[in-house]
Amino acid sequence: MKKSLKVERSDVLRSCGFDSLTAGPSLPHGRDLSFAPADRQAAGPHDGAQFQTFRPSDFQTFRPLTMDARSILHLDLDTFFVSVERVRDSRLNGRPVIIGGSSDRGVVSSCSYEARSFGVSSAMPMKMARAMCPEAVFIRGDMEMYTKYSRMVTDIIADKAPLYEKASVDEHYIDLTGMERFHGCAGWSHELRDTIIRETGLPISIGLSVNKTVSKIAAGEAKPNGEREVAQQQVLPFLDPLSIRKIPMIGQKTYHTLRSMGISTIHTLRVIPAEMLGSLMGQNGMEIWKKANGIDNTPVISYSEQKSISTEHTFDRDTTDTVMLNQMIVSMTEKLAYELRRQEKLASCLTVRIRYSDFDTHTLQQRVPYTAFDHVLISEAQSLFRRLWQRRMLIRLIGVKVSGLVRGVQQLNMFEDTPEMVSLYMTMDRLRGRFGRHAIRRAAGVMTAAERSERELRKASELLAEKSRMEERLRGWRY
Ligand SMILES: [Mg+2]
C-alpha cells in the first residue's frame, strides 16, 4: 500500500527559508556568528572549557534566504540530581552515585558519570544498576530539594536574560538574537555559566548556536561541564559525524527503525530525500529530516507565557456544602493532574480560586515541588481551599489552575513513591484513555488522619535506614 504523501523537497526547503541546495559563500543577511578576537579577549581567561570553534569549511549546503540568523543558548545542568546531592555532601564527589527508587523494582532517576562508566543509565531498573555497580552510593532522592536548586538557577537566568524558556527542571533556552551587536553572545553566555556555577555550585554545560535543536545537541557534546559554540556555517560539519541518537526527538523505537535501514550518522540521515522519510514515517519523518539538516524554527517561549492548565466550575445553585465542595476540588485537581501526565508535563505552581455569591473573588497560589501526581496536588489544593474559604458564605464558583509547567515525565518522582503507586496511576490513566476522563475517580479524602501519620512514620524510618546505609557505603569507600 502506497501512502499518498507527496512533498517536494524544494517545497520543504522553501518553507524553511532556504532557497536551494547549492553552497553559498556567506550569509546574505545578518553577520557571521563567530566572534572577533577582541570579543574573545574580552571574555577573559577561564579555567574551565572554552568554546571550541570549527574552522570555516565549504561543507555548507543550505543558506537562509529570508531569515536573519538567530542566536540561541541552551543550558543543561549536568547529572542534575547527583550534582545537588554533591553540593550537599562533598564526600560524594568523584564516586559512583545512583539516584532512584530504594526498592529493587524502582528505576534509576539519575546517575553520575562514574556510575555510567559501569554501564548504568537513566530509567534502568535499580536491580540491574545494583548488579552492575555494587560499589555505588545509592540515594533515594528529594524532589523538594531539587526543585529548590532548579529555581535558584532559573532566578539567576531570569535576572540576566532578555528572553528565556524553562524547558525542564534542569534545562533552559535563552534567545540572544541581536545581542551580538552590543556584546559577544559567547562572552555573555560564558559569564552567565560562570555565575550559575559560582552561586549554586552546580556543573552546567552550554551550547550556543542558531536554533534550539543545534544548541541542545551542542550542549550535549560539551558535557561534562563545558561550552560549545556552533556558528551557522559550522552547523552541518558539526552535526554530520554524530550519531542519529543525538537528535532530541529520536527515541528508542525510531532509532532502531533507522538503524535497521543502515542509517547511523546524521549525515546519512540528512542526505536521504525528505519525501522518502516523509512517506516512511509521516510528519515525524519530515521533522527528523529537518533536524538532521540543522533546521528548527521553533521559538524560545518566555517562561511567563508558558501555558498553564486550568479548570473551573460554576454551581447551578450557590452552596456551602463542604463535602461537595471538597469533592469538586478533588475531581478538578485530578483532571488537571491527568492532563499534565498526558502532556508529559510537571507543574510547579498551584492556584485555587473561589467566587462568593456576591461575586467577591479570592485567589491563593502555592509553589509546589515539580509534580504531576494527584496525591501531591490534591492535598495542596485542599489546603489552599481551606485557607481561602474563610467567610463560610455561599460559593458560586471554584477554579483550580496548575502553572510553571516544564517538560518531564513522572519518572522524576518514582524514587519518592512506591512502584505500586506508579502502576496504579498508569492503570488509571489507561482506563481514562479508553473509557473517557470520568471513567475512574478517587473517593474524596480516602486517607484518614491515622493512615496519614502512619505513612509519614514509615517514610521517616525509611529515610533513616537509607541514611545509615549511605553512611556505611561512604565509610567503606577506598580511594
Ligand atoms: Mg541535564
219 alpha carbon to ligand 1 midpoint, in Å? Answer: 10
To the nearest 10 degrees (0 to 180), the angle between helices 322-342 and 374-388 is: 140
Give a yes or no: residue 124 inside a domain: no
Do 159 and 217 lie in a common domain? yes
Cis peptide before 419 (omega within 30 of 0): no
Predicted local confidence at residue 283, as pLDDT: 87
Give a yes or no: residue 30 inside a domain: yes
Do 225 and 261 lie in a common domain? yes
Flag whether pLDDT at 175 surpasses 90: yes
Predicted local confidence at residue 470, as pLDDT: 62
To the nearest 10 degrees (0 to 180), the angle between helices 322-342 and 419-435 is: 90
Flag whether pLDDT at 445 surpasses 60: no
Give a yes or no: residue 401 inside a domain: yes
Compute the distance between CA of residue 288 and CA of residue 281 in angstroms, rounded to an integer: 9
46 alpha carbon to ligand 1 midpoint, in Å? Answer: 23
Q: How many residues make up the chain in this entry?
A: 479
Give a yes or no: residue 271 inside a domain: yes
User: Whole-number mean pLDDT of the chain?
Assistant: 80
Do 369 and 267 lie in a common domain? no
The pLDDT tens digits for 355-374 are 999 999 999 999 998 988 88
φ, ψ for residue 19 (rounded to 5)?
A: -95, -30
205 alpha carbon to ligand 1 midpoint, in Å? Answer: 8
Flag whether pLDDT at 429 surpasses 80: no
365 alpha carbon to ligand 1 midpoint, in Å? Answer: 28
pLDDT cut 70: percent of the chain above it: 70
Flag whether pLDDT at 457 surpasses 90: no
Do 58 and 176 lie in a common domain? yes
Q: Mean pLDDT check: name the lowest of 36-45, 89-98, 113-122, 379-388.
A: 36-45
- β partners of residue 346: 406
- Measure the CA dihedral 216/234/39/173, to 10°: -20
CATH number for the domain spanning 420: value is 3.30.1490.100
Do 355 and 417 lie in a common domain? yes
Split into its structural domains, the chain has a count of: 2
- Give 2 or 320, the one with higher predicted confidence: 320
- Give 160 or 68, the one with higher predicted confidence: 160
| The Cα angle at residue 407 between residues 373 and 101, in degrees rounded to 5 | 50
- Give 399 or 411, the one with higher predicted confidence: 399
Compute the distance between CA of residue 49 and CA of residue 223 in angstroms, rounded to an integer: 10
- Measure the CA dihedral 114/117/119/122, to 10°: 40
Give a yes or no: residue 464 inside a domain: no
Do 285 and 323 lie in a common domain? no
- Residue 250: give the domain boundaries: 9-78+146-292
| The Cα angle at residue 177 between residues 175 and 182, in degrees rounded to 5 | 120
Predicted local confidence at residue 41, as pLDDT: 37
Averaged pLDDT, 192-218: 98
Give a yes or no: residue 226 inside a domain: yes
Give a yes or no: residue 100 inside a domain: no
Do 253 and 326 lie in a common domain? no
The pLDDT tens digits for 261-298 are 999 999 999 999 999 888 888 888 999 999 999 999 99
76 alpha carbon to ligand 1 midpoint, in Å? Answer: 5
Do 424 and 362 lie in a common domain? yes
Predicted local confidence at residue 58, as pLDDT: 33
Give a yes or no: residue 475 inside a domain: no
321 alpha carbon to ligand 1 midpoint, in Å? Answer: 47
350 alpha carbon to ligand 1 midpoint, in Å? Answer: 25
Compute the distance between CA of residue 332 and CA of residue 407 in angstroms, rounded to an integer: 22
Cell 523494582 sits on residue? 105
Flag whether pLDDT at 241 surpasses 80: yes
What 3 state SS string does the chain have? Answer: CCCCCCCCHHHHHHHCCECCCCCCCCCCCCCCCCCCHHHHHHHCCCCCCCCCCCCCCCCCCCCECCCCCCCEEEEEECCHHHHHHHHHCHHHCCCCEEEECCCCCCEEEEECHHHHCCCCCCCCEHHHHHHHCCCCEEECCCHHHHHHHHHHHHHHHHHHCCCEEEEECCEEEEECCCHHHCCCHHHHHHHHHHHHHHHHCCCEEEEEECCHHHHHHHHHHHCCCCEEECCHHHHHHHHCCCEHHHCCCCCHHHHHHHHHCCCCEHHHHHHCCHHHHHHHHCHHHHHHHHHHCCCCCCCCCCHHHCCCEEEEEEEEEEECCHHHHHHHHHHHHHHHHHHHHHCCEEEEEEEEEEEECCCCEEEEEEEEEEECCHHHHHHHHHHHHHHHCCCCCCEEEEEEEEECCEECCHHHHCCCCCHHHHHHHHHHHHHHHHHCCCCCCCCCCCCCHHHHHHHHHHHHHHHHHHHHHHHHHHHHCCC
Q: Amino acid identity of 407?
A: R
- The residue among 311, 279, 288 whose CA lies nearest residue 402 is 311
Do β-strands 97-100 and 137-139 pair in parallel, antiparallel, or remain unpaired?
parallel
Q: Which residues surround ligand 1, an ion (CB under 5 A)?
A: 76-77, 170
Considering 246, 269, 292, which residue would you say is the last residue of a domain?
Answer: 292
The contacts of residue 421 (CB under 8 Å, 6+ apart) are 375
223 alpha carbon to ligand 1 midpoint, in Å? Answer: 9
Do 50 and 168 lie in a common domain? yes
Averaged pLDDT, 331-340: 92
CATH number for the domain spanning 188: value is 3.30.70.270
Q: Mean pLDDT check: name the lowest of 4-8, 113-117, 129-133, 253-257.
A: 4-8
Do 170 and 242 lie in a common domain? yes
Compute the distance between CA of residue 336 and CA of residue 340 in angstroms, rounded to an integer: 6
Do 177 and 208 lie in a common domain? yes
Flag whether pLDDT at 25 surpasses 50: no
Whether the Cβ atoms of residue 410 and residue 373 lie closer than 8 Å to each other: yes
Predicted local confidence at residue 87, as pLDDT: 97
266 alpha carbon to ligand 1 midpoint, in Å? Answer: 22
Do 349 and 379 lie in a common domain? yes
Predicted local confidence at residue 387, as pLDDT: 94
Tell me which residues are annotated as active site. 171
